[in-house]
């Protein structure tokens, strides 16, 4: 499932293609949304934003489309009404004179009023979105300090969208590595300095991944690896999916463990206490 940086980049692409251009045609596959095809034709998309792992499309006329890709949903953009060559099932299509946006395979699509957005069953449970322009480092640090989360295991907590929204499996391992913390503890077991390091890593790596298209590794390390001829897969991460490879920072062998049905990756020398 895409994580916050990928969802925000998708929202940016949709905004570029759709914002402030009259809609020339719409298609909704679900019968419950058919009535909006005529209502919204000729109006404009005013904005597209991410909320956790969902996307909100704001239409002129106080309509907001909520969509969540789940595991298989995918937005695709094309010019001049061309349709992608895919076997996926089309759920939504939005056309203007320059571009067409197609949403395939998504199962959760709803039309809301703006005032209904904060009370949507998914959105109201979200923690602060680490990539939202209004989210500060202090807001993320407050989550790490919050009493409600102290008895939670860090590896589980980082995937809880009610804690900090937008974090998924690759960011989880990368954040713990960058903060230099042992991944096996509950939140209460970390010092104040470690919680500050976790908050800083959460913000820095999420935003770095957004800006780079999915790269969390330090730019200096990436450049060195490029000079050595390493491919993108080897350049991209500190530890995620680098089992049995050497840590870029200390040279120790990266380990993996399964927790809660999903793998975490860590460096024993950089993260585990003696």
Name the active-site residue from 145, 241, 262, 263.
262
Name the active-site residue from 5, 6, 49, 53.
53
- The answer to whether 43 is a known catalytic residue is no
- The answer to whether 53 is a known catalytic residue is yes
- The answer to whether 153 is a known catalytic residue is no
Name the active-site residue from 3, 6, 49, 194.
3
Residue 205: name the closest of 197, 216, 221 by CA.
216
Please give the angle made by the CA atoms of 191, 242 and 178, to the nearest 5 degrees. 25
Residues 142/130, Cβ–Cβ less than 8 Å: no
Please give the angle made by the CA atoms of 27, 2 and 9, to the nearest 5 degrees. 70
- The answer to whether 118 is a known catalytic residue is no
DSSP string, 123-181: GGG---BTTSTT--HHHHHHHHH-GGGTTSBHHHHTT-TTTSBT--HHHHHHHHHHHT-
Residues 109/66, Cβ–Cβ less than 8 Å: yes
Name the active-site residue from 2, 5, 128, 183.
2
List residues with catalytic annotation.
Answer: 2-3, 53, 262
């Amino acid at each position: 499932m895409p994580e916050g940086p990928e969802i925000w980049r998708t929202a940016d692409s949709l905004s570029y293609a759709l914002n402030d251009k009259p809609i020339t045609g719409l298609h909704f596959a679900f019968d419950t949304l058919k009535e909006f095809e005529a209502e919204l034709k000729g109006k404009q998309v005013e904005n597209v934003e991410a909320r956790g792992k969902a996307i909100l499309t704001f239409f002129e006329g106080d309509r907001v489309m909520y969509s969540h890709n789940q595991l298989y949903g995918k937005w695709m953009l094309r010019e001049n009404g061309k349709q992608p060559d895919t076997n996926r099932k089309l759920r939504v299509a939005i056309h203007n004179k320059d571009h067409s946006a197609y949403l395939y395979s998504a199962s959760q699509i709803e039309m809301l009023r703006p005032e209904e957005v904060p009370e949507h069953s998914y959105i109201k449970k979200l923690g602060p979105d680490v990539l939202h322009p209004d989210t500060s480092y202090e807001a993320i640090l407050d989550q790490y300090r919050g009493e409600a989360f102290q008895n939670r295991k860090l590896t589980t907590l980082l995937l809880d969208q009610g804690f900090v929204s937008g974090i998924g499996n690759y960011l989880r391992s990368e954040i713990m590595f960058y903060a230099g913390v042992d991944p096996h503890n509950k939140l209460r077991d970390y010092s104040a300095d470690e919680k500050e390091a976790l908050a800083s890593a959460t913000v820095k790596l999420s935003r770095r991944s957004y800006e780079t298209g999915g790269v969390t590794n330090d730019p200096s390390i990436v450049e060195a690896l490029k000079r050595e001829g390493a491919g993108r897969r080897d350049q991209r991460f500190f530890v995620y999916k680098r089992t049995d490879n050497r840590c870029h920072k200390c040279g120790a062998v990266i380990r993996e463990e399964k927790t809660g049905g999903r793998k975490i990756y860590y460096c024993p020398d950089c993260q585990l206490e003696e």
